[in-house]
């Protein structure tokens, strides 16, 4: 067994201990490191072992695809939770202001967006600063009790007729003994395909849940769709 294999097995063992203590974020970070090591070695067998480990504690529907094109706007785009894969920053480059509570997530993001450590419940921007706001599989990471405040803050910093674009996932009522919900995506961008996985401690959410938040925060719903487990909403600030 080589050094990389030993490191991966140790990461998975530590991740298992984290799960026993309900430290999902720590466990996910260790699993990500294990996956990165296996990918760097091009070892499909190790990747299979890692995914088998993940499936022991998380429910994951079948892998899904999502095709995106750049967002058409002349103004700036505020991307909520723009660290990690940084999909919106990859789409619209330096038009994007990406915020995230995690400095580490932002530092690991490779795109041309302006990156700022910030809490989405307390946006440090003047009213009507942005033409578009996005949340690409980021609301699922935020506790439910903070969602309405985020919608209200987004409404405040959007220009009149500004848009709030949400991509997220339908998470059903918890079943079996799964601790987490994981969705795996192939995101097709104009210049590249990005393999991404988004996993969280189980909390129910649906398109109707987000539509209710939109109405409570005075947004108009102008477009919506469901594709498999993926949901999308286009909201507009009127006035």
Same domain, 117 and 7: no
**What is the rounded radius of gyration, in angstroms, for the C-alpha atoms of the chain?**
18
Residues 182-191: tens digit of each pLDDT: 898 999 999 9
Q: Provide the pLDDT for residue 16.
A: 85
Q: Provide the pLDDT for residue 148.
A: 98
Same domain, 88 and 167: yes
Query: Token digits for 218?
Result: 């005075």
Closest CA to 11 of 43, 44, 36: 36
Q: Confidence band (pLDDT; 50, 70, 90) for 28?
A: confident
Contact predicate 78/97, CB 8 Å: yes
**Residue that is last in its domain, among 26, 41, 58:** 58
Residues making up the chain, counted from first to last: 239
Better-scored residue on pLDDT, 198 or 233: 233
Same domain, 91 and 163: yes
Same domain, 112 and 35: no
Burial letters 29-53, b for 16+ CB under 10 A, else e: bbbbbbbebbeeeebeebbebbbeb
- Quote the CA–CA distance of 152 and 150 in Å, as a whole number: 5
Same domain, 54 and 82: no
User: Given a cut of 90, is residue 176 above it in pLDDT?
Assistant: no
User: Given a cut of 90, is residue 126 above it in pLDDT?
Assistant: yes
Same domain, 19 and 121: no
**8: how many CB neighbours lie within 10 A of its CB?**
27
Contact predicate 80/102, CB 8 Å: no
User: Given a cut of 60, is residue 199 above it in pLDDT?
Assistant: yes
Residue 218 DSSP SS3: coil
Same domain, 145 and 47: no
- Quote the CA–CA distance of 133 and 39 in Å, as a whole number: 33
**Residue that is last in its domain, among 41, 58, 75:** 58
- Quote the CA–CA distance of 156 and 151 in Å, as a whole number: 9
Q: Provide the pLDDT for residue 235.
A: 98
Q: In CATH, what number is assigned to the domain containing residue 138?
A: 3.40.50.150
Q: Which residues contact 6 (CB under 8 A, 6 or more apart)?
A: none
Same domain, 54 and 68: no
Same domain, 51 and 71: no
Residues 67-106: tens digit of each pLDDT: 999 999 999 999 999 998 999 999 999 999 999 999 988 9
Q: Considering its fold, how many domains does the chain have in total?
A: 2
Range 171-175 average pLDDT: 91
Same domain, 16 and 97: no
Same domain, 127 and 219: yes
pTM: 0.87
Range 195-215 average pLDDT: 92
Q: Which domain holds residue 40?
A: 3-58
User: Given a cut of 70, is residue 1 above it in pLDDT?
Assistant: no
* Beta bridge mates, 225: 232
Q: Provide the pLDDT for residue 55.
A: 81
Q: Confidence band (pLDDT; 50, 70, 90) for 50?
A: confident
Q: Which residues contact 80 (CB under 8 A, 6 or more apart)?
A: 99, 120, 133, 134, 135, 138, 139, 150, 154
Residues 128-167: tens digit of each pLDDT: 999 999 999 999 999 999 999 999 999 999 999 999 999 9
**Residue that is last in its domain, among 11, 36, 58:** 58
On average, the pLDDT of the chain sits at 92
Q: Provide the pLDDT for residue 52.
A: 85
Same domain, 224 and 131: yes
Residues 206-231: tens digit of each pLDDT: 999 999 999 999 999 999 999 999 99
């Amino acid at each position: 067994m080589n050094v990389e294999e030993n490191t991966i097995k140790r990461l998975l063992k530590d991740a298992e201990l984290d799960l026993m203590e309900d430290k999902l974020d720590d466990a996910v970070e260790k699993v990500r490191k294990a996956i990165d090591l296996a990918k760097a070695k091009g070892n499909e067998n190790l990747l299979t072992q890692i995914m088998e480990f993940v499936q022991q504690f998380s429910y994951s529907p079948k892998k899904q695809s999502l095709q995106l094109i750049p967002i058409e706007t002349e103004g700036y785009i505020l991307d909520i939770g723009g660290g990690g894969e940084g999909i919106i920053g990859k789409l619209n480059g330096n038009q994007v202001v990406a915020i995230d509570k995690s400095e580490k997530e932002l530092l690991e993001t490779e795109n041309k967006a302006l990156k700022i450590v910030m809490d989405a419940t307390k946006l440090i921007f003047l009213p009507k600063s942005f033409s578009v706001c996005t949340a690409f599989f980021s609301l699922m990471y935020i506790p439910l009790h903070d969602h309405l405040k985020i919608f209200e803050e987004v409404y405040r910093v959007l220009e009149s007729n500004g848009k709030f674009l949400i991509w997220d996932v339908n998470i059903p009522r918890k079943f079996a003994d799964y601790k987490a919900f994981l969705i795996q995506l192939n995101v097709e961008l104009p210049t590249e395909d990005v393999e991404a996985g988004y996993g969280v401690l189980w909390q129910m959410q649906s398109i109707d849940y987000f539509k209710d938040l939109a109405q409570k925060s005075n947004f108009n719903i102008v477009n919506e769709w469901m594709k498999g487990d993926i949901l999308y909403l286009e909201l507009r600030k009127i006035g």
